Amino acid sequence: MSVIKAENITKTYKETAVPVHALNGINLEVQEGEFTAIVGPSGCGKTTLLNILGGLDHPSTGTVEVAGTNITDMKDSKLIDFRLQTIGFVFQAYNLIPVLTNKENVEFIMLLQKRSKAERDKRAMELLEQMGIADKANQRPSELSGGQQQRVAVARALASKPKFILADEPTANLDSVSTANLLDMMARMNQEQNATFVFSTHDQRVIDKAKRIVTLEDGKIVSDETRN
């Protein structure tokens, strides 16, 4: 079952003196349970594509279907709720809420989904345990290393039980050990819970772990390779 279906996506930024064509006719379908890396050099359109797939930005042309829903022209107010229920996000800079504890950061997304306190507590602790940082539950993000913070961010992304998780350069700020740990963690989630991950990266270590590698160049897919 496909969780993402993008057809003929283009994105042109017209704010600059010379229009920039960031994406030129992207066709991409991601199936449930995939562990996909979108790779390519800087400026090839990886982040733009992820933003469009995640409903954070609208394509100039083409259609995007996420979990069976066409989000191409969906209003921003509806998209916010759609993202809450459907998509998990992991950002390069972690973007945790500094005034909350790590557990509260994970819980927060479930609170927005109006889940009960008992369910929030249980799932937040489960996820932090799976990420190996349950002992840091009551600490603030600033008390953790970058790798640990990114694991909290992954736990937060999983907390909402999304159809898939979009991760924009998740290892860009991490050292090699943290990167390896984080990738192992995400690979395990993918295998054990069939969680769908789509990364943008140019980190070879992430590329090595990916089951599918989509390569972009100048806003076009130049290769799409699936590994066993």
Partner 1 sequence: MLFKIAWKNVWRSRGRSLVVIGSIVVGIWALLFGTGFMNGFLVGYMANIINNDISNIQIHNPEFKKDYDVKYYIKDGKEKAAAVRTWQGVRGATTRTIVSGMISSPKKAAGVQIRGIDLTNEAIVTHLDSLVAEGTYFVGINRNPIIIGSKLAENLGVKVRSKVVLTFNDGEGNITAGAFRVVGIVKSSSIPISELYAYTRQSDLTRLLGIGDKVHEIAVVTDPQADEQAIVTKYNTTYPGDQAQTWRETAPELAVMDEMYGSMLYVLMTIIMIALVFGIVNTMLMAVLERFRELGMLMAVGMNKLRVFVMILVETIFLGLVGAPIGLFVGWSTLKYYAINGVDLSKYSEGLESFGYSSILHPYIDNSVYFIVTIGVVVTAVIGALYPAWKAVKLKPVEALHKL
**Interface residue list for partner 1 (CB under 8 A):** 51, 54, 56-57, 77, 80-81, 83-85, 89, 91, 93, 95, 97-100, 104, 107-109, 111-113, 156, 160
Q: Which is nearer to partner 1, 24 or 91 (CB)?
A: 91
Q: Which is nearer to partner 1, 157 or 206 (CB)?
A: 157
Q: Which helix (H) or strand (E) holds 9?
A: strand 2-13
CA distance 96 to 138: 14
Q: Strand pairing of 35-39 and 197-201?
A: parallel
Smallest gap from Cβ 46 to partner 1, in A, equals: 13
Q: Which is nearer to partner 1, 124 or 216 (CB)?
A: 124
Q: Which is nearer to partner 1, 81 or 184 (CB)?
A: 81
Closest CA to 168 of 5, 42, 68, 63: 42
Find out whether 34 and 210 touch, Cβ atoms under 8 Å.
no
Q: Which two tokens stand for residue 123?
A: 């799932």
Smallest gap from Cβ 109 to partner 1, in A, equals: 6
Q: Which is nearer to partner 1, 45 or 210 (CB)?
A: 45
Smallest gap from Cβ 8 to partner 1, in A, equals: 21
Q: Rounded to a whole number, what is the distance in angstroms from the first to the last CA of the chain?
A: 18
Smallest gap from Cβ 142 to partner 1, in A, equals: 12
- Cβ-in-10-Å burial (0-12, 13-18, 19+) of 117 comes to exposed
HSE-CB at 87 with a 13 A cutoff on CA atoms is 26
Q: Which is nearer to partner 1, 35 or 108 (CB)?
A: 108
Find out whether 144 and 152 touch, Cβ atoms under 8 Å.
yes
User: Which residues make beta-bridge pairs with 224?
Assistant: 214
Q: Which is nearer to partner 1, 57 or 224 (CB)?
A: 57
Smallest gap from Cβ 101 to partner 1, in A, equals: 10
Smallest gap from Cβ 225 to partner 1, in A, equals: 28
165 phi and psi, to 5 degrees? -120, 130
Smallest gap from Cβ 44 to partner 1, in A, equals: 16
